[in-house]
Structure 1
Amino acid sequence: MSNIVDDYLTAPPIEKLKVLEIEIPCGTECIKYSHFKDLLNVETFRQQLEVIDSLKSLIEDKIDVLIRELESRMPIKVNTYELAYSFYRIVEIGGDYTIGSDTLRYEDKVVFKGRFEELMTVYKTIEEIKKEEQLVNLCHEIRYLSESMWVHLDKNIRRALNESKGRS
């Protein structure tokens, strides 16, 4: 058991949140299907993973809200998931869209494909949305909660595993 604890502490497994592709520590389901599954027998570890599971669920709810809010503001149908991904990244990291003759892109994501006039309408709408405090704050909350998961892992999960290692 000591080796598996050391492996986990050295390189905790990660998963990505839907749509936004934010890396987070693995929760219970992810651990259950990994070579770390025996750690679930450590009660304090399992209890701490429940916090990760709860935070993940809360973040996923906020991602759903972000998607709905962005979609409701678009005058033209866009690739909603790519829009949410790009909007979040631009708010939290920076960058901008690439405007082509018929596509609006962010990194490798195509947010919109269509006539140039429609593309510019979508782009201008996004620029207006970026000024909406409610949606910007929602992105900040998602980032804060995902960062909290790593803090929880570093403080509480590491402690729980180190204590269990000391007892074995």
Structure 2
Amino acid sequence: MNNIISDYLNAQPKEKLKIVEIDIPCGTECIKNSKYSNLLNIESFKEQIEILDSLKSLIEEKIDTLEREIHDKVNSFNVNIEELTYSIYNSIENGKDYIIGHDSLKFEDKVLATGKFQEIISLSQVIDSIKKDKNIISLCDEIRYLSESLWEHFNKNIRRVLNESSNRS
């Protein structure tokens, strides 16, 4: 068991949050489907992972809220809402830019919308106003802070209970 614990702590298994694609520590389902599933037999570890699951659920609710807020502001445009949500989050949190083409709006390798140049410009203007919306900025910040807190939880609490369990065996 000590080898599995050591491997788990070194690997820091992760999964991605939906839509915003942020890496977070593996939760219960992720661990159940991995080579680390036996760690869930350690009660204190399982309890800490359940806390992680609760935080993940809270973050996913924030992501859903962000997606709804953005959808409400762009519902008159033909746009991929999940990719637009991803782009707005990353633009706000990481300062990345959009690429306006003569018939498309892109972010990184994602095509957010296609259409006439004037429609693309109009959408771009709406996105600019969304990125300045205090509620949107606040949601993005909360998602980032909460996802960072998952790693803090991993590094402080999960690491501690596994080290304690390893020392007992």
TM-score, reference length from structure 1: 0.98
Q: 3-state DSSP class of the match of 2:113? A: strand
Shift of residue 77 of structure 1? 2.4
Pairing 1:91–2:92 present = yes
Shift of residue 95 of structure 1? 1.6
Q: Deviations over 1:53-87 (max 9, x none)?
A: 00111111111111110010013121101100000
Q: 3-state DSSP class of the match of 1:105? A: strand
**Count of aligned pairs between the two proteins:** 168
Pairing 1:101–2:102 present = yes
Corresponding residue for residue 147 of structure 1? 148
RMSD of aligned residue pairs (Cα, Å) = 0.6
- 5+ residue gaps, structure 2, are none
Amino acid at match of 2:92: V
Q: Distance in 1 between matches of 2:52 and 2:111?
A: 31
Q: Distance in 2 between matches of 1:115 and 1:79?
A: 16
Q: Distance in 2 between matches of 1:127 and 1:164?
A: 51
Q: How does 1:6-155 map to 2 (within 5 A)?
A: 6-74=6-74, 75-155=76-156
Shift of residue 51 of structure 1? 1.0
Q: 3-state DSSP class of the match of 1:148? A: helix
Pairing 1:3–2:14 present = no
Corresponding residue for residue 163 of structure 2? 162
Q: 3-state DSSP class of the match of 2:106? A: strand
Q: Distance in 2 between matches of 1:79 and 1:33?
A: 31
Q: 3-state DSSP class of the match of 1:110? A: strand
Amino acid at match of 2:129: E
Amino acid at match of 2:127: I
- 5+ residue gaps, structure 1, are none
Q: Deviations over 1:99-118 (max 9, x none)?
A: 00111001001111111111
Runs of 4 or more consecutive aligned structure 1 residues displaced over 3 Å after TM superposition: none
- Identity over aligned pairs, percent: 56
TM-score, reference length from structure 2: 0.98
Shift of residue 130 of structure 1? 1.1
